[in-house]
Structure 1
Amino acid sequence: MAATLTLETTAYTLDQLLALSDAQIALAGRSNVGKSSLINALAGRKKLAKVSATPGKTRSVNFYRVEPQHFYLVDLPGYGYARASHEERRNWAKLLEHYLSDCKTLKALALLLDCRLPPQKIDLELASFARACRLPLLPVLTKTDKCKQRERALRQREWHDLLAVRPLLTSSSSRLGMEELWRALIEIAVPGIADADSAPATSE
């Protein structure tokens, strides 16, 4: 099923985050997990989401419109960046918690995880909070092109054991897993619409 991705709006406050009525799937991960690169790979465009050389630079929440399925991918600020001030980290955490717990149209949390790293406490804490909010989890391993097959399989087993959900393997540079990820996102946002026999296409 074809899907296009465009940046529709940017939010900075909780009221702005909760203003949209269509279905949403949040994308969250550590500040250097490769979230912007993944969004660009999903869109089939190089500069839709700005990729910064400085981890943790993004302060806003970006809403990307998915058409014709009529839902949003919501790019949340990266977390865990050590150079951010304590006040900044506290404000980000508060905004994230309120959004995950209060947004009525939020269908799931896509948790982005660096395939090169063993499970990190901060990722597990976010997964636990999402579960407490009764949000389904879609774990996504990023940067798998930088790992050998054995390491990929190990990470999948580790996270499956912790979350009881098998993570998807993805790579923004090689486009590994993009079609599978699109199908999973669409099926979560609009249950029953995704055709397993048709791969989503991307366009400018």
Structure 2
Amino acid sequence: MPITENPIKFNSAAFNTSAARLSQCPDDIGAEVAFAGRSNAGKSSAINTLTNNSRLARTSKTPGRTQLINFFDLNLPGLRIVDLPGYGYAKVPIAMKEHWQKHLDAYLQKRQCLRGVVLVMDIRHPMKEFDEMMVGWCESTGMPLHVLLTKADKLKKGPMQSTVLQVRRQLRERLGDLVSVQAFSALKKSGVEQLQERISEWLLAEDNSEAEDASEADEA
């Protein structure tokens, strides 16, 4: 069911809590969309651009500083966006990386209110090892995936479009209709509406389904 007027106000996003493990996460109710990505892919900048709040997600010149799962509440009760720990680039001890991996996997496997994953990749360096791991997880669980090819301003229009088509073709073979791909630039603020629409479709899917069920019941 298409969204005619988006009730979600992304600029309302406010910090809820940080969690080092699944047991510290907010109650597993409502609906949330998680952002994942290598720690130098521009994930925090993408979240800040999405919400029009430059201070919402922590950004750093030293990749890998986000070591916790961070939850942000939206204006509708029970709806959240989640910033997952960056991984695969940070110069941190092996034990810390193993900790991240363990609890990231627990979140992805057991979080019942998770409705979709936004996988952030640098458009100049897509489908690295971490990206493959996330795609594989979505493939095995049937979780909807939206690939956000960031830093699109670093490429000219032709190479940018070519990369989007290449990644889309590659992932459609594995995930079919579960995957969507877009270019995005935090610097130019391009692709924001497309990203908002995709996240809204996921977060509002239950409300839409309930509305359709109620409509069908009335017609019967």
Distance of 1:88 and 1:74 partners within structure 2:
20
Structure 1 residues 148 and 193, CA, compared in 2 at 3 Å: closer, same or farther? Answer: farther
Deviation (angstroms), 1:47: 1.2
Distance of 2:187 and 2:127 partners within structure 1:
23
Deviation (angstroms), 1:193: 6.8
* Counterpart in the other structure of 2:91: 83
* Counterpart in the other structure of 2:162: 154
Higher relative contact order (CA 8 A, sep 6+): 1
Deviation (angstroms), 1:133: 2.2
Deviation (angstroms), 1:64: 1.0
Deviation (angstroms), 1:18: 6.1
Counterpart contact for 2:72–2:80, Cα < 8 Å:
yes
Corresponding position: 1:9 with 2:31: no
Deviation (angstroms), 1:119: 2.6
* Counterpart in the other structure of 2:194: 180
Distance of 1:192 and 1:133 partners within structure 2:
19
Name the aligned partner's letter for residue 72 of structure 1. R
Richer in helix (by share):
2
Name the aligned partner's letter for residue 174 of structure 1. K
Name the aligned partner's letter for residue 132 of structure 1. S
Name the aligned partner's letter for residue 189 of structure 1. L
* Counterpart in the other structure of 2:43: 35
Indicate which of 135, 144, 158 corresponds to 1:136: 144
Indicate which of 40, 48, 54 corresponds to 2:56: 48
* Counterpart in the other structure of 2:135: 127
* Counterpart in the other structure of 1:25: 33
Structure 1 residues 45 and 118, CA, compared in 2 at 3 Å: closer, same or farther? Answer: closer
Structure 1 residues 27-82: Cα deviation after superposition (integer angstroms, max 9, x where no partner): 00000111111111111122112211100011111101121374111100101025
Name the aligned partner's letter for residue 181 of structure 1. L
Distance of 2:78 and 2:23 partners within structure 1:
21
Aligned residues with identical type, % of pairs: 32
Give the alignment's TM-score, normalised by structure 2: 0.82
Distance of 1:186 and 1:120 partners within structure 2:
27
Please, which runs of 5 or more residues in structure 1 have no aligned partner? 195-204
* Counterpart in the other structure of 1:190: 204
Over the aligned positions, Cα root-mean-square deviation in angstroms equals 1.8
Q: Which has the larger radius of gyration?
A: 2
Counterpart contact for 1:119–1:158, Cα < 8 Å:
no
Deviation (angstroms), 1:83: 1.4
Counterpart contact for 1:25–1:73, Cα < 8 Å:
yes
Give the alignment's TM-score, normalised by structure 1: 0.88
